[in-house]
Structure 1
Amino acid sequence: MKIVIAIPWRAQPGRDLAHSLTLRHWAELLPEAQVVHADYGGELFSLAGSRNAGVRLAEKIGADIVIICDADTLVQAEPIGSAIEGARTSGKVHLPYEYCRTLGVDGSAQYRDGVPLPECDAIPVYGSTGGVYVTTPSSWWAHGGQDPRFRGWGYEDVAWFIAHETLLGEPVRHEGDIYPLHHPSAPKDAPILEANYALLARYGEASGDPEAMRRIIAESGQEPLG
């Protein structure tokens, strides 16, 4: 089984350390996996589009399983293992966590000093739908992947969850946590966030209506397979 770890990535000030720690973490966790970096392009980085680009890269090199992982996010071994196994046959995307526990300045420093992740100071984020996804390429495209019209960071993962839930059923969660590392936040542009939120609202309106959801996804160029 070929596993590819696809990391959405565009170098930005202050992010290199978190990126390097994430790469080291994966090398220890899944040394047999191949890592690729993906950037959708355009003047403004699109996290959603870059996640899709990562899956396309993984497809080209014959991936059976794609782990889409943000460049600052660490995951636990047991849930990633069960998510890989489940994603092979479920036809759904798997989230290898129940809770997101954000490592702030102190928690990230503790991790760098060798403190085990569950013992690092962290801020719990409930209901998270981003960070790390485990999927086959076909499952990712079956519900349209993520909408590249979401630019920058913001709301793309919530819209993705709604689309998946409407077209394939709820994504499969596994018991465990993910841990985003601290780094300087990217600048947030108010008009872009407003446009992202307006697009999310359309996904919300289409929730539970497969035909309406397929129409929205078709507009994005990410036509679902089913």
Structure 2
Amino acid sequence: SQMTHFKNFYESLQWWKLTPAFRDTTYADFTGKDDSYLLRDGNKTYIAYFAEPNTVTGTLEQMASTVYKAEWYNTRTGEYTLISEQVTPVNGQWAIPAKPDSLDWVLLVRSDQSALAPKLVVSSANQSTTINVQHGTLQLSAAVNVEHTAASVDWEVSNVDGTSTDAATIDQNGLLTALKNGVVRVTATQNVNGQLSAFKTVIITRQDKAAPPAKAQSLTVIDGGNEFLGNQQMLPVFAPNNT
């Protein structure tokens, strides 16, 4: 689930415009040089990942003579914390404040000239992608990446190909309710400053079974046979077998 937060973070940016700087001190001087990494889009966007087990950071370099917005991104929750909307570099430098704690954090610093484009991002409670309880529900939400604030959207549920479905319903608060087994696509649409749209795919199972799924008690890796050209097929087996 934490890797999903990384995926959502970079997908919400025009990540293909970012250049890895790694340990090049031209654009940043980090205290933790072994576990701190920089991506940048010129001097418009700086993204720094700090993985040192402490709160130290460093300094951004070669910044423009303009105002930047700086935020922390929590890699464990997917939440943003505003540092300041009025970051003004001095001689092209800005001393990054200490991390909120000693765990890993991502720093996002961007100016008004940043190439970040507004994009709608759909999330679910606990990053879940499956409903496996009869008539179970899943709460979904939508936010615009630039503001990082909840967006007012219209919700729709359909089959993956866009055709109508009776496998689930969704209310205008984003609460998805399962009705039948299947795979559905939940789409959020915002008609503000041009239409933004995003979707999330949800797998629905066990709607024909009233009892909740059994919890796995063990996991064993077994030899699946089918040795071919030096490769061996291994299979993961959960017990009990109805998990």
Q: Using CA pairs below 8 Å that are at least 6 residues apart, which structure has the higher relative contact order?
A: 1
Indicate the structure (1 or 2) with the bigger Cα radius of gyration.
Answer: 2
Q: Indicate the structure with greater helix content.
A: 1
Q: TM-score, normalised by structure 2?
A: 0.26
Q: TM-score, normalised by structure 1?
A: 0.27
Q: Indicate the structure with greater strand content.
A: 2
